Amino acid sequence: MSIHKSYVVFGLGRYGRAVAKGLIDSGADVMAIDSSEDVVNSAVADIPFCKCADITNYETIKSLGISNVDVVIITMASNLEASIMATMLCKECGVKTVIVKCSSEMNQKILQKIGADIVIFPEQESGLRLAKNLVTSGFVDLVELSKDISMVELDVKDEWIGKNLIELNLRRKYSINIAAIIKNNDIIVNIDPVNPLEKDMKLIVVAHKSKLQKLK
């Protein structure tokens, strides 16, 4: 993911507002949506492109032009029903990446089953950190394994397409370990290193944080 993508943030509580402002401060194109007019009015000074709308209504979602957005971030963790509806509608509209904040492990499983690409626990992730990850690298942190080691989701770079892991030798070049490959929403852990990488694949990578900077 990069700063050149377009972002929409659903929900302008503390977390959602922090994500939206962090993205804007980094120069990203951001629209923020909340169901409360008072909340929108209070946020407009920091987030110029705010709208009051019901994001659980399909026609409303379509009218917002969500189908043209690269990343939607849904932050209403306390309202599971709204999060589910918003996730489903965004995926139906063709949004490539839907990131959802949730409040429990059970909610995480539900959101993943109905199409959420990434689910974040608020106690594990801050809005500012998410915004920083989105605009400063080609990956999003999935798990911080330690102070120095992270597991991240990484897009297949254009120059890697059509080449296999043996040819690329990513471990030697970047000091990263490929833990899994995501293809058509399936997670492949038994990786055949002779199979060529494809454009729509995602790589699950474990590496030292300093080494990940090479992949920007």
**Which pLDDT score is estimated for 147?**
63
**Which pLDDT score is estimated for 122?**
60
Contact 141, 133 (CB under 8 A): yes
**Could you tell me the two tokens for 56?**
């659980």
Q: Which CATH code fits 139-215? A: 3.30.70.1450
The fold for domain 6-135 equals Rossmann fold (3.40.50)
pLDDT < 70 positions in the chain: 1-4, 122-148, 214-216
The 10 Å CB-count burial string (b at 16+, else e) for 176-202 is bebbbbeeeeeeeeeeeeeeebeeebb
**Which pLDDT score is estimated for 1?**
44
Within 15-146, strands assigned E span 29-34, 50-52, 71-74, 97-101, 118-120, 139-144
Residue-range domain boundaries for the chain: 6-135, 139-215
Compute how many other C-beta atoms are within 10 angstroms of the C-beta atom of residue 146. 9
Cα–Cα–Cα angle for 161, 162, 165, rounded to 5 degrees: 85
User: What distance in Å separates the CA atoms of residue 204 and residue 148, rounded to the nearest whole number?
Assistant: 17
User: What distance in Å separates the CA atoms of residue 171 and residue 14, rounded to the nearest whole number?
Assistant: 39
Contact 72, 90 (CB under 8 A): yes
**Which pLDDT score is estimated for 11?**
95
Closest C-alpha to 182, from 165, 194, 199, 168: 199
Residue 122 phi/psi, 5-degree rounding, is -60, -30
User: What distance in Å separates the CA atoms of residue 13 and residue 149, rounded to the nearest whole number?
Assistant: 30
Helix or strand or coil: residue 69? Answer: coil
Furthest-apart CA pair in the chain: how many Å?
56
